[in-house]
Amino acid sequence: MKSPESAKPGMRRLVSRSAFALLSLSAATVLAGCASATQSTPTASPSAAFKPAAQTAGSQITVWADSTRLPAVQQYQKSHPDVKMNIVTYDGSANGSTYLQTKVQLFDRTGNGWPDVVFGSPTDVTWASQPTSPSATAFAAPLDANLVPQQTLDGFAKGSLAPCQFNGHTYCLRNDIAQVVLWYNKTLMDKFGYQVPTTWEQYEALGEQVAKEHPGYLVGAVGDTNSQESYFWSSQCPAFQLEDPATLKVDLTDGNCTRMATLLDKLIAAKAVTTQGFFSQGFAKDPGGSKVVMANGPSWYGQYLFNAAFKVPAGQIAAAAPLTWEGETTAATGNVGGGVWMVSSHSKNLKASTDLATWLTTSNDFQANAPTYPAYVPAAKAWLANPANSKYFATDISAVFEQAADLVWTGWSNTKFSDATAWSNVVLPALTQGKTLTETLPQWQTAITDEAKSVGYTIATK
């Protein structure tokens, strides 16, 4: 029997010999000058080369929807029993999730498994409209290429399909727009004897007044993953401004950014604006939705936040037009989300897939009762006409919604990365620790530019 001890020097020799071999090998490679480690970027225009997969009429289609949109898909299944559907629920790319992108990357590698129709965020379209690797096909099918009639595409609200467009083609259908308006609790405002502000300056003054006269009541919250879109987008801050498809302007030192940071800092210090999020755990319980006097936020706050989450009784909540800055004639506003439906370019049943995506976005059967404001104009009219949508509110919101839908500032672009990541894990933790927004802006700037560079953007700061 060989003694284990005698094996040791042999092992040592082997280890040192292979280490030496590895070392010399790596030295050799360094000397040889190797190929670049950068990822190859697909150059060919993907849309021109769109070739549908072999079609199988009547084959099953797989649909990925978030829980909010699930009833819509189920409603379609009920009214179209002959269409074979496999319905899957997922997070819907909310809160900066990259689940869909992750899965598609994997499917592109394995060559199968893609869902046929997916609900996603506008950010998803920026990567789905381009191939993930030179050998892959872009995930989203160009819907204007003989799939959806131009007449239907023309029916979407002005600019609402902009996030879907790339290289002259349309890769998604917009489900809803989320124009930011000023929500307020009319009952509370009347009780306190306050006037609804029309400018940010009035809003700031009123916030300080609320803090003084009714401590505990709130005029806003900045702690959500999308609060930056409600405030900084509305303020026309160039944080995510694409100058061309490869150049991103990030300039948080711009006056449009600092004015909003200063305003919010004052209100946060006065405790009229909370650093918690409306959607953070426990907010509905403490301080509770009944303490919210005003909230600058998207059109879906009405039904989704005040009605469903805060359970504020009907007849209290109202919406006012987006706030302007003193000296500025035209208001601009932000946009928070607004989902899209995409059809997979790999679908074996493009006909059924396109039909579903079209129905989901344009049919009054669903959209008139949708939890969000439809992007398709005729559906939006039906939505506003639906008593269920209007009777909850204290005033008629249609004029405000229609006005705000046209005011969304176009300088805040959809980028290949989510605008929520840096805000959530750099700015919000700093605010929680008691730092001001103004002193956090440089950190936010760095986080955005780092992230943008990592996905291949060139950064412009001026």
Partner 1 sequence: MTALNTGHEAVSSVTPVRRRATTRRRAGLAGYLFVSGYAILLLAFGIFPTVYAFFLALTNDRGQFTGLNQFIKVAQDYRFAPAFLNISLYLVMWLLSVVVLTVVVAIVLRSRMRPRLSAIFRFLYYLPGALAGVASVLVWLFMLDPAVSPVSWLLRSLGFADFAAVLSPGDLPVILVLIAFWTGAGGWIVVMYGALNNIPDEVLEAARTDGAGPWKTAWHIQIPMIRKWIAYMAILAFAGGTQLFVEPQMLQTASLGRVSPTWSPNQLAYVYAFQHGDFNGAAAISIFLLALGLICAALLVTRSDLFKVDES
CB of 283 to partner 1, least distance (A): 9
| Residue 182, φ and ψ in degrees, nearest 5 | -95, 105
The answer to whether residue 35 forms part of the interface with partner 1 (CB under 8 A) is yes
For residues 314 and 391, the answer to whether their CB atoms sit within 8 Å is: yes
Stretch that binds partner 1, among 141-149, 265-273, 368-376, 452-460 (CB under 8 A): 452-460
315 vs 429, beta carbon nearer partner 1: 429
CB of 432 to partner 1, least distance (A): 5
Which residue in the set 89, 98, 209, 258 belongs to the binding site for partner 1 (CB under 8 A)?
98
The answer to whether residue 124 forms part of the interface with partner 1 (CB under 8 A) is no
The answer to whether residue 454 forms part of the interface with partner 1 (CB under 8 A) is yes
Which residue in the set 6, 10, 30, 43 belongs to the binding site for partner 1 (CB under 8 A)?
30
Contact code string over 255-284 relative to partner 1, x by CB under 8 A: --------------------xxx-xxxx--
CB of 453 to partner 1, least distance (A): 8
The Cα 462–Cα 457 span in angstroms is 15
Contact code string over 428-447 relative to partner 1, x by CB under 8 A: xx--xx--------------
The Cα 372–Cα 72 span in angstroms is 12
Stretch that binds partner 1, among 155-163, 168-176, 321-329, 422-430 (CB under 8 A): 422-430
136 vs 332, beta carbon nearer partner 1: 136
Stretch that binds partner 1, among 103-111, 159-167, 168-176, 251-259 (CB under 8 A): 103-111
Torsion of CA 393, 398, 402, 404, to 10 degrees: -30
Which residue in the set 106, 145, 205, 269 belongs to the binding site for partner 1 (CB under 8 A)?
106
Neighbours of 448 (CB within 10 A): 24
Stretch that binds partner 1, among 220-228, 229-237, 335-343, 402-410 (CB under 8 A): 220-228
The Cα 327–Cα 336 span in angstroms is 26
The answer to whether residue 310 forms part of the interface with partner 1 (CB under 8 A) is no
Which residue in the set 132, 296, 307, 344 belongs to the binding site for partner 1 (CB under 8 A)?
132
The Cα 376–Cα 358 span in angstroms is 10
349 vs 449, beta carbon nearer partner 1: 449
Contact code string over 178-217 relative to partner 1, x by CB under 8 A: ----------------------------------------
The answer to whether residue 6 forms part of the interface with partner 1 (CB under 8 A) is no
178 vs 428, beta carbon nearer partner 1: 428
- How many CA atoms does the CB half-sphere of 357 hold within 13 Å? 37
Q: Tell me the two tokens of residue 288.
A: 């509770």
| Count of residues of this chain found to bind partner 1 when the rule CB under 8 A is applied | 51
Which residue in the set 420, 437, 448, 452 belongs to the binding site for partner 1 (CB under 8 A)?
420
| Long-range contact set of residues 190-196: C-beta below 8 Å, sequence gap at least 24 | 192/293, 194/293, 196/320
Binders of partner 1 among residues 159 to 178 (CB under 8 A) are none
CB of 46 to partner 1, least distance (A): 15
> Which residues lie near partner 1 (CB under 8 A)?
1, 4-5, 26, 29-30, 32, 34-40, 95-98, 101-102, 105-106, 108-109, 132-134, 223-225, 275-277, 279-282, 285-286, 420-421, 424-425, 428-429, 432-433, 450, 453-455
